[in-house]
Amino acid sequence: MKRMLVNATQEEELRVALVDGQKLFDLSIDLPSREQKKANVYKARISRIEPSLEACFVDYGAQRHGFLPLKEVSKECFRQQPQGSRMNIRELLSEGQEIIVQVEKEERGTKGAALTTFISLAGRFLVLMPNNPRAGGVSRRIEGEDRDQMREVMSQLQIPDGMGAIVRTAGVGRSAPELQWDLDNLKAQWQQIEAAARERPAPFLVFRESDAVTRAMRDYLSDDIGEVLVDGQAAFQKAQEYMQRFMPAEAQRRLKLYTDDIPLFTRFQIESQIESAYAHKVQLPSGGSIVIDYTEALVSIDINSARATRGSDIETTATNTNLEAAEEIARQLRIRDIGGLIVIDFIDMELPKNQREVEDRLRDAMKMDRARIQIGRLSRFGLLEMSRQRLRPSLGETSHIVCPRCVGIGSIRSVESMTLAVLRLIGEELRKDRTARVIAQVPVSVATYLINEKREWLRTLEDKSEAELIIVPNENIQTPEYSIRRVRDDELELPEQRQATYLMPTAPEVAEPGSAQDKKPATDAPAVAALLPATAAPAPAPPAAAARAQPPGEAHVGFWSRLKRLLAGEATTAGAEPAPLSDAAAPARTGRRDE
């Protein structure tokens, strides 16, 4: 049975895991100390227009301005309607103009948030696009007969002019009244957002996306989830409030408060599986492994056969390892929420049949992913390129910090290499005109190597330049950190230049003590609070098969028998006329043969 587990016992993070038995297949970790801005709605002001980028920078209340491309600007925001040919962005928008925007992508590194004026409000079954009438339709993840069925249900909805709605995967099999109920709630929410945006000048927060528990219930709670276990009282109350607002009474029984002494995730044995999401190398059941490396441009995944020797030959071993790796890679991408460009280096396979099998296995494993994914083909070098939509900041971005020693490179220079580099830089400073003194602060290991192995070089440099050279071993710094300071001849008499050498080492930086609660950013109160539905959620519609139940006498009669009797003018079977169906059970006559 599939379960949703919500772990809220630690105030520093809230974890939501989806498990099938004891197998973890999706994970979401929310940090209260990190404010999430994605899907928030702001009233903002255009601060700068860049015609070269066909975009503008927008002040929406954050320290770093957001980025708004022209293609993400609704025509309602234009000062004048474009006349046929392409117009300059300055003719369409103006600096200081106030607009309503939504955060589409969070800030990453030095990049500001990506914004859009095409607002989307997510509900239980629908996503409402209040200013984008062309965006209506059915989610891309809904395929086959379900897609045709949902198109038919969507045609029955009363969608206001100028708006569009998209059916989510949670809306599959829902009736028109259920979808209309969700649409009316979202429409009322948008009306409140519009009213609040007119009350105050920009910039300010108009509407905040739901909290972590409500988001998890909305995005992950599907009909195949048999049980929802929450181990925190506060989180349980939020989940219970959501269920009462948006779920029918029979579905609310799935929510349970977990009160056992054994931790929730330990009970289902998924803690070790979660820890694999933080590891650089992930082991495969057959003995192979995958290695995940993050770079500025892409994420590279390498597959190693390692101790995998179960195959009868090298081709079979490579294929089996690649098939195992394909399933594990799909799982790791979901758990870590890795987005962007991903390159997978599979073990070389000679047979095209095996290559296609690995590609198909990867595609099948990706089907349960909520993100949009594009997968290429295996190249002749054994590389497969794919891209994955970035739903939220990845697990690495939220829980890791850049190594202060290597600054994210992953390796540092050796003591010998570092010493030679410092020696050459000291020589450059000593050869400059009017140099009276050069002070080099280096790690103790580098200073030891300089003073002993390179003593003659230091003496030669000092004699040729007629300047004073001071080597200061600093135990507070490590390779590759160092500092070289040049003192001119007119600066020698300054008071700071008369300091004793043992007082020269810089003191270590002492971090101010503080907890995660102290680091939690101050969040502004939104102008529009979460809206409670005016009416309770409608009960699910009964299955269509029950409404099309046949009379007992017709149950055993085949199609050809009925056709013969119809041509012969016989209306009933066995000489008895069946009882007429009630209006509620009568099948709708749409001309379809199966009805």
Domains detected in the chain: 2-34+212-270 (3.30.420), 40-207 (2.40.50.140), 279-399 (no CATH), 415-503 (3.40.1260.20)
Q: Is the pLDDT of residue 530 over 50?
A: yes
Angle at the Cα of 277 from the Cα atoms of 395 and 281, rounded to 5 degrees: 125
| 40 and 102 Cβ atoms separated by less than 8 Å | yes
Strand 137-138 and strand 164-167: the pairing is parallel
Q: Is the pLDDT of residue 244 over 90?
A: no
- Tell me the average pLDDT across 196-210: 89
Q: Mutual orientation of helices 212-220 and 233-246 as an angle, nearest 10°?
A: 50
The string of pLDDT tens digits covering residues 369-428 is 888 999 999 998 989 999 999 888 888 888 888 888 888 888 899 999 999 999 999 999
pLDDT computed for residue 538 by the predictor = 72
Q: Is the pLDDT of residue 500 over 90?
A: no
pLDDT computed for residue 10 by the predictor = 87
The string of pLDDT tens digits covering residues 316-348 is 989 999 999 999 999 999 999 999 999 999 999
DSSP H helix total and E strand total for the chain: 16, 24
Q: Is the pLDDT of residue 211 over 90?
A: no
The confidence band for 525, taking pLDDT boundaries of 50, 70 and 90, is: confident
pLDDT computed for residue 537 by the predictor = 66
The confidence band for 360, taking pLDDT boundaries of 50, 70 and 90, is: very high
pLDDT computed for residue 591 by the predictor = 35
pLDDT computed for residue 114 by the predictor = 93
Torsions phi, psi for 149 (to 5 deg): -65, -45
pLDDT computed for residue 558 by the predictor = 59
Lowest model confidence (mean pLDDT) among 185-189, 308-312, 456-460:
308-312
Residues 431, 433, 435, 436, Cα dihedral to 10°: 110
The string of pLDDT tens digits covering residues 253-301 is 899 999 999 999 999 999 989 998 899 999 998 888 999 999 889 999 9
pLDDT computed for residue 224 by the predictor = 85
Sign of CA dihedral 89, 90, 96, 99: negative
Q: Is the pLDDT of residue 590 over 90?
A: no
The larger pLDDT score, comparing residue 557 to residue 100, is at: 100
Which bin fits 574, alpha (ψ -120 to 50), beta or left (φ > 0)?
A: left
Question: Please, what is the average pLDDT of the chain?
Answer: 84
Largest Cα–Cα distance in the chain?
126
| 275 and 29 Cβ atoms separated by less than 8 Å | no
The string of pLDDT tens digits covering residues 39-57 is 899 999 999 999 999 999 9
Angle at the Cα of 390 from the Cα atoms of 385 and 394, rounded to 5 degrees: 100
Distance from the Cα of residue 329 to its chain's centroid: 16
Q: Is the pLDDT of residue 228 over 50?
A: yes
* 3-state secondary structure at position 7: strand
Beta-strand runs (E) in 36-123: 41-50, 55-59, 66-69, 98-105, 114-116, 121-122
Tokens describing residue 238: 């939020």
The confidence band for 17, taking pLDDT boundaries of 50, 70 and 90, is: very high
pLDDT computed for residue 327 by the predictor = 95
pLDDT computed for residue 517 by the predictor = 46
Q: What is the C-alpha to C-alpha distance for residues 313 and 460, in angstroms, rounded to an integer? A: 64
Read off the amino acid at residue 588: A
Q: What is the C-alpha to C-alpha distance for residues 368 and 24, in angstroms, rounded to an integer? A: 13
pLDDT computed for residue 575 by the predictor = 39
- Tell me the average pLDDT across 156-180: 89
- Tell me the average pLDDT across 183-198: 91
pLDDT computed for residue 252 by the predictor = 84
- For a pLDDT cut of 70, what percent of the chain falls above it? 86
Spell out the SS3 assignment of 157-192: CCCCCCCEEEECHHHCCCCHHHHHHHHHHHHHHHHH
Strand 55-59 and strand 41-50: the pairing is antiparallel
- Tell me the average pLDDT across 171-185: 89
pLDDT computed for residue 544 by the predictor = 45
